[in-house]
């Protein structure tokens, strides 16, 4: 799924608006619960895209992919692996999955 920058900004603004409403302290616990569920869904939508919204980050990902491919062909495996790891940090989906995994690990420790 590829998300346009405008769509991403709309979701982000809605997420921040709900966050301000929750932090205002003027809502009932039931309203806070409903808004928290909506906020979690918005966060999921923001993290569902494999590619970043803006073209600059997409270009960086493309360059890193070229570097990883070229270094793999030249048998520079360390550079290839490092390039792929850095490449993954530009993907909202990958970072969302990593965040969920770390959250589960921390929850299991407590």
**Residue 42 falls inside a structural domain:** yes
**Residue 15 falls inside a structural domain:** yes
| Number of domains present in the structure of the chain | 1
Contacts of 96 (CB under 8 A, 6+ apart): 44, 46, 47, 48
Could you read off the pLDDT of 62-106 as tens digits, one per residue? Answer: 999 999 999 999 999 999 999 999 999 988 889 888 988 998 888
Going by C-alpha positions, the residue among 93, 100, 97, 98 that lies closest to residue 48 is 93
Q: What is the pLDDT of residue 84?
A: 92
**Residue 76 falls inside a structural domain:** no
Flag whether the pTM goes above 0.85: no
In which domain, by residue range, is 46 found? 1-51
**Residue 73 falls inside a structural domain:** no
The answer to whether residue 36 scores a pLDDT higher than 70 is yes
**Residue 70 falls inside a structural domain:** no
**Residue 4 falls inside a structural domain:** yes
Dihedral sign, Cα of residue 54, residue 56, residue 58, residue 60: negative
Q: How many CA atoms lie within 13 A of 22 on its CB side?
A: 16
């Amino acid at each position: 799924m590829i998300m346009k920058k405008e769509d991403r900004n709309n979701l982000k603004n809605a997420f921040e608006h709900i966050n301000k409403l929750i932090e205002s302290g003027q809502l009932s616990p039931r309203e806070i619960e409903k808004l928290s569920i909506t906020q979690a869904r918005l966060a999921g939508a923001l993290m569902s895209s494999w590619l970043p919204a803006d073209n600059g980050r997409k270009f960086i990902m493309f360059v890193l992919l070229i570097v990883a491919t070229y270094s793999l062909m030249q048998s520079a495996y360390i550079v290839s692996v490092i390039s792929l790891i850095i490449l993954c940090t530009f993907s909202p989906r990958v970072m969302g999955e990593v965040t969920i995994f770390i959250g589960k690990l921390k929850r299991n420790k407590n």
